[in-house]
């Protein structure tokens, strides 16, 4: 994880009314941009598949829209075909609630 300042969320109700309005507008536009990014990603993938229904060299293009840029990468066609939802695994990932996790984070920061 990158080292530097520790960012913390600002409590919106602590702001004056003008800043709260700007913040609310910002959140609304970020949410709208997220929806547009999803729409752009899906449309791009559909267009690519329409033009390349069997993939290219055993691969398919995948798309993502991040920070105002449409990106693409290729992944094996086999992975794309087996893209079903995975079973929920309660043991997957890290446990940030365990005391040992906090000690590890403190050790990494030192």
pLDDT tens digits for 21-37? 999 999 999 999 999 99
**Cβ neighbours of residue 2 closer than 8 Å, sequence gap 6 or more:** none
pLDDT-derived band at 1, boundaries 50, 70, 90: very low
Q: Cβ–Cβ contacts within 10 Å for residue 18, how many?
A: 8
pLDDT in tens, 36-66: 999 999 999 999 999 999 999 999 999 999 9
pLDDT at 79: 59
Instruction: Say how far apart CA 5 and CA 1 lie, in whole Å.
Output: 12
pTM recorded for the entire structure = 0.58
Q: What is the average per-residue pLDDT within 79-106? A: 65
6 or 2, greater pLDDT = 6
């Amino acid at each position: 994880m990158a080292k530097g300042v520790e960012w913390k969320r600002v409590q919106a109700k602590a702001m004056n009314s003008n800043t709260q309005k700007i913040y609310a507008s910002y959140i609304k536009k970020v949410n709208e941009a997220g929806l547009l990014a999803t729409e752009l990603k899906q449309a791009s993938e559909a267009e690519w598949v329409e033009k390349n229904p069997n993939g290219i060299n055993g691969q398919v293009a995948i798309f993502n829209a991040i920070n105002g840029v449409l990106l693409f990468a290729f992944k094996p066609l086999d992975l794309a075909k087996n893209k079903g939802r995975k079973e929920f695994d309660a043991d997957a990932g890290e446990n940030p609630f365990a005391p040992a996790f906090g000690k590890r984070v403190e050790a990494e920061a030192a």
